[in-house]
Structure 1
């Protein structure tokens, strides 16, 4: 019975939209523009413990589209999930929070950004697939490099 208590647990408890913002500061005039807008997409990830063995992980997307120096629209969306992660070594917990949790959350964030664009009257923006494993490894290497200096 005690062995079952020590078996690794990874479970999604809840998925939710934590924050959403849409701004169209130059509408309706900018909607008449024929120029192709420039699109800038920034992604961010965060994770924190909220109870013993329970974590909130989130992925944030900031999508800015501009025509020249004027903003067409700005979307900020944060999708989050509550995950139960127990009985894993600490380095594996960090990898789960940095790779598996964002991979689970990201498809929902992609759908929200696309839907908000469409509902705002613009063509959908489809966020590209993200290699969270590569991002996590790069972050780990950067932290190791900073620790060595």
Structure 2
């Protein structure tokens, strides 16, 4: 009985991570040159913007939002613009500041990316365009680049 109580106390201070919910926060699609764009030869040029942000909700709960914005041009004309804000609520406790920063900045966006990619593909195909099939993203490398940029600027990663 004493061992179980001690193990219970140890579990309270152990790192905790669990996914509470994944949801679409915002979704947008524009095809400004429809229907004329469908009559042209299709030679797309894809531009992708990717952004993450995180927010403390309450004790141990965090919202992480991954935003993917895609602009596809056919020649000089914009064929379509699509954007998804894929979000998740995560319970994260008992991590040191460096591990917490990495978890929120790389690990959580890595979980959200497949959902965001699928939402974009679905949105684009509903607009009668070919699916985007975005390549996987190395969020660990992006996180490392952002840390290096912040260190150069003399800033520290922060939660909003």
TM superposition score category, shorter chain reference: over 0.9
Matched, 1:76 2:64: no
Aligned to 2:118: 111
| TM-score (normalised: structure 2) | 0.88
Q: Tell me, which stretches of 5 or more residues in structure 1 are unaligned?
A: none
Deviation at 1:63, TM superposition (A): 0.8
| TM-score (normalised: structure 1) | 0.95
Deviates more, 1:39-48 or 1:77-86: 39-48
Q: Is contact 2:47–2:71 with CA below 8 Å preserved after alignment?
A: yes
Written as runs of structure 1 = structure 2, the 5 A alignment for 1:4-19 is: 4-19=11-26
Aligned to 1:99: 106
Number of paired residues? Answer: 148
Written as runs of structure 1 = structure 2, the 5 A alignment for 1:19-98 is: 19-98=26-105
Aligned to 2:127: 120
Which one has a bigger Cα radius of gyration? 2
After the TM superposition, which segments of 4 or more aligned residues of structure 1 sit over 6 Å from their partners?
none
SS of alignment partner, residue 147 of structure 1 = coil
SS of alignment partner, residue 87 of structure 2 = strand
Deviation at 1:2, TM superposition (A): 2.4
SS of alignment partner, residue 86 of structure 2 = strand
Aligned to 1:140: 147
Aligned to 1:130: 137
